[in-house]
Amino acid sequence: MALSTDMLAAFVKVAELGSVSAAAAELGIGKSLASKRVAQLEAALRSTLFSRSTRKIALTPAGDAYLDHARRALAEVALAEERLRELRAELSGQIRLTAPASWGTRVLARHLPAFLRQHPAIEIELLLADRMMDLAAERIDLALRWTHQPPQGLAAESVASVAWVVVAAPAYLAAAGTPAGPQDLPGHSCICYWRERSDDRWVLGDGTRRHQLQVRGRYHANSAEAVADAALAGLGVALLPAYVCDEALADGRLLRVLPEWTPDTKYGTRITAVATPERLRLSRNRALLDFLKQQLGG
């Protein structure tokens, strides 16, 4: 005879309440049916689970050993049923999502159509900006940010990794020479992805050594796209997130400079999703975050 959840539920209730009558009442079935289900379980297991007398019912050693397993089995079945209910329930509503402008355009926007195809009742409002938005005031559900430490009181989960690279056009390197080490960069024209004056300081490391350099150049921009365009035009050496220049590196329009050295920027190497805990508990927001982590390598 095959086991059933009805048998397990009857066994667990009788064990917990010490009474077939009380278990039957809590399960909403007759006493005879509760007894029958326990007997069926014992037959299926070929073990006596209860010692019975006219005065009381108690677990046998076999029943005591089996009780925790039965509870876990019922819990797993309940969890699986809940997950299936969530899958059957169509997610709906609007998600207000913000992300850095260049990463949002180059990376994030490529994946959102697939999510919307999976969930036709969901709407996404994507706000691309490099400024920090007030999540509460601007009704943001999820904010994807460059951040080492999310603000206190917000939930945070890593979504994607981002590599930084030092690059230059072949024509620039042919004319100005190729830096042999980080110490050569201050002597080159450097293009800065610049939001404040401290962004003129570049930090590079190779695992054992670390160089902090004050670089100089005639062009500063608060747009990674603009910096990449300037590098392609041969204006100098640029420090950029790899996703902005991966195609140009692949086809040789840009070349890696000092590839054995790893840049360390204030933006870090990860895109992190931050949200208020109550927003993250909404099924549609959780579904989007899990989707992005799966697509982007979380």
Q: Classify the C-alpha dihedral 191-194-197-202 as positive or negative.
A: negative
CATH of the domain at 46: 1.10.10.10
pLDDT at 164 over 80: yes
What's the structural domain count of the chain? 3
pLDDT at 169 over 90: yes
Neighbouring C-beta atoms of residue 172, cutoff 10 Å: 25
Last residue of a domain, one of 88, 106, 124: 88
Last residue of a domain, one of 88, 103, 121: 88
Query: Is there a single domain that holds both residue 235 and residue 171?
Result: yes
pLDDT at 195: 67
pLDDT at 121 over 80: yes
Query: Is there a single domain that holds both residue 67 and residue 137?
Result: no
Domain with 276, as residue range(s), is: 93-159+269-296
Query: Is there a single domain that holds both residue 68 and residue 102?
Result: no
CATH of the domain at 115: 3.40.190.10
Query: Is there a single domain that holds both residue 172 and residue 252?
Result: yes
Per-residue pLDDT tens digits for 68-101 = 999 999 988 887 776 676 666 678 889 999 999 9
Query: Is there a single domain that holds both residue 64 and residue 109?
Result: no
Query: Is there a single domain that holds both residue 155 and residue 274?
Result: yes
Query: Is there a single domain that holds both residue 48 and residue 80?
Result: yes
CATH of the domain at 205: 3.40.190.290
- pLDDT-wise least confident of 28-32, 37-41, 195-199: 195-199
pLDDT at 52 over 90: no
Last residue of a domain, one of 40, 67, 88: 88
Query: Is there a single domain that holds both residue 151 and residue 282?
Result: yes
Query: Is there a single domain that holds both residue 64 and residue 129?
Result: no
Per cent of the chain over pLDDT 90 is: 69
Query: Is there a single domain that holds both residue 170 and residue 249?
Result: yes
196-207 average pLDDT score: 83
